[in-house]
Amino acid sequence: MSTDADLRALDVAWDLDPLIDGRGEAGVDAMLDDVAARVEAVGRFRGRVGELDAAELAECVRELAVLSEILGRVGSYAGLRYTVDVTDAARGALMARVEERSARLANDLLFFDLEWAALTDEHVAPLLVDERLAFCRHHLASSRRYRPHLLTEPEERILIEKGVTGASAWARLFSDLTSTIVVDLPTGPVSLEEGLAQLASPDRDVRRTAAEAVTAGLAPGLRTRAFVFNTLLADKATDDRLRSFPSWISSRNLDNEASDASVQALVDAVTARSDIPQRWYRLKAQLLGLPRLADYDRMASVAADEDEFGWAEARDLVLDAYASFSGELADDARRFFDEAWIDAPVRPGKRPGAFCAYTVPSHHPYLLLNWTSRRRDVLTLAHELGHGLHAYLARDQIVFQQSTPLTLAETASVFGETVTFGRLLERTTDPDARLALLAESLEGQIATVFRQIAMNRFEDAVHTERREVGELSVERFGDLWAATQGDMLGDAVEITEGYRTWWSYIPHFMATPGYVYAYAYGQLLALSVYKRYEEEGDAFVPAYLELLRRGGSDTPEALGAVVGVDLGDPGFWTGGLAIVDAQLAAAEQAARDTGRL
């Protein structure tokens, strides 16, 4: 049996002092003074970036990396210390001081990026193939990737200045409008977020009433929000035309370093497997005793899971899961526990949720958790540990190439979580507990993969129609929303009349067009890589570890090639979908075993 201290992981706190060599707040200031002196020294390259040969350029980048490392250590120390007690004014003040000084120092280093980006392709081509710059090649190349889409300097200046009162003002207006939406529940008025949270209620009447109240809450100002959306769609079309982007999604793909072909392959693979969410929602209807789900039933919980895990048991389980895959990885993972790289317990003033802080390559990463001894927490531990191991293995990369683009960021975390999930499932024999475990996983997969791609299809439809036809009416937005949701849900879920306006509160559509597919990309990429491991077994491991060691030192496609996968091939993405399919089959079996069908 676990003790209370073990259940709550009370003794699991991280040690941040090594970040600043154990010198406390005085160390922070000393290190920032050191940076200031070094900034002065690196200033000798200012105005001369275009004259540097490969050796001098390498020297310059290495000096900049040292600066970035020191700033990263100090910033990590102040920031992480703050996250575990955000109510402590002294911690807040230190973080603010570090941020302000760092921003001023970083400003003095901007010259390099600007001068480097301004050089012609002819000038940089021989430098980018020079072996002396191999350690930072991708960083140097990718920092120039927007170049073909840049306008002249005066044009850029006007676009930046007018953007403040253009797109970003419209996006802010949208968020102002949605943040004041009131949902009138029978129990009294609540915010939109609280209204939506009611959709998880086990009571169908509560869910239906909440959904109707959300729809009613979305009605005022709907035409105004549609106008804001139309304006932003047109603004994006103008931007893309001026900058010669071939499609509405191309600029986002460039941000993500994802090729248009790989994104299309992802979309094709996911939309071809709508049977997965549809089968799950049919099973869910049976479990809930309903002939068919309505849109507002999808979040309802089907099975409760009451199992508790002590910290020691969870640690052993996760290390065991990693060891089943690679002894080397498990040894590295053990250091997180043995050397105080994790802060686990829930404490007053600590920031909620979980994350991995990479810090810098010369140090080690840290994990923040809010451990509540639930099964979910075990998977979160495995997930964040995966991020941590990715950062740790990539420690030989220069600081500018340690972390991956967004689209590859979940590779190790989802992989580790999936291995651990398999272990958990293996040792869970009770059908109700199995169903609970599988249900939670499937809900997560559907939310991350299928729902985000359905939203991407909606974005694709509205951006295309705004460009080819013109302004969209509220009705038309509703048609396209219902149609794209319907493609995912089929006849497994009834789309109610009220649901047709539920596109109108989603902030990503306004502030970061095209963003949502990245969730699906990251998740399914990791699952598809995992599928290769399932197929190839131990022979796959060395290439996988090499992929993690490469960090962000290349494009996602080139890094995919390290483990022998082609991101532009829809066949690659179907591998990850097969994993989800297998989980669904196991859930169907567990549901039969519970005798609830």
Q: Which residues bind Zn ion (CB under 5 A)?
A: 413
Residue (63 or 384) nearer to Zn ion, CB? 384
Task: Compute the radius of gyration of the chain from its Cα atoms.
Answer: 25
Q: Identify the sign of the CA torsion 346, 352, 358, 360.
A: negative
CB of 526 to Zn ion, least distance (A): 9
Alpha-carbon span 470 to 415, nearest angstrom: 44
Cβ–Cβ contacts within 10 Å for residue 99, how many?
13
Alpha-carbon span 510 to 233, nearest angstrom: 8
Q: Which residue is nearest to Zn ion (CB)?
A: 413
CB of 560 to Zn ion, least distance (A): 19
Cβ–Cβ contacts within 10 Å for residue 585, how many?
12
Find tokens 């995992």 and name the residue: 530
Alpha-carbon span 86 to 351, nearest angstrom: 7
Among 376, 427, 423, 340, CA closest to 18: 340
Find tokens 């920032």 and name the residue: 32
CB of 80 to Zn ion, least distance (A): 17
CB of 169 to Zn ion, least distance (A): 32
Relative orientation angle of helices 222-242 and 167-179, to the nearest 10 degrees: 160
CB of 522 to Zn ion, least distance (A): 8
CB of 392 to Zn ion, least distance (A): 15
Residue (239 or 343) nearer to Zn ion, CB? 343
CB of 549 to Zn ion, least distance (A): 19
Residue (78 or 389) nearer to Zn ion, CB? 389
Cβ–Cβ contacts within 10 Å for residue 84, how many?
18
Q: Tokens for 351?
A: 């920031």
Residue (240 or 343) nearer to Zn ion, CB? 343
CB of 387 to Zn ion, least distance (A): 6
- Helix ranges (DSSP H) in 16-53: 24-42
Residue (519 or 573) nearer to Zn ion, CB? 519
User: What are residue 52's phi and psi, to 5 degrees?
Assistant: -75, 140
Find tokens 């154990």 and name the residue: 22
CB of 413 to Zn ion, least distance (A): 4
Residue (2 or 370) nearer to Zn ion, CB? 370
Assess contact for 559 and 408: CB atoms under 8 A: yes
Residue (413 or 501) nearer to Zn ion, CB? 413
What separation in angstroms does the CA of 380 have from each of 13, 154, 369, 441? 17, 48, 8, 12
Residue (67 or 408) nearer to Zn ion, CB? 408
Alpha-carbon span 285 to 199, nearest angstrom: 15
Cβ–Cβ contacts within 10 Å for residue 87, how many?
9
CB of 262 to Zn ion, least distance (A): 20
Residue (404 or 413) nearer to Zn ion, CB? 413
CB of 39 to Zn ion, least distance (A): 34
Can you say how many angstroms the Cα of residue 542 is from the centroid of all Cα atoms in its chain? 26
Output the 3-class SS for 80-106: HHHHCCCCCHHHHHHHHHHHHHHHHHH
Alpha-carbon span 336 to 151, nearest angstrom: 47
Residue (413 or 456) nearer to Zn ion, CB? 413
Residue (262 or 413) nearer to Zn ion, CB? 413
What separation in angstroms does the CA of 484 have from each of 312, 455, 460, 470, 489? 46, 7, 10, 19, 9
CB of 321 to Zn ion, least distance (A): 17
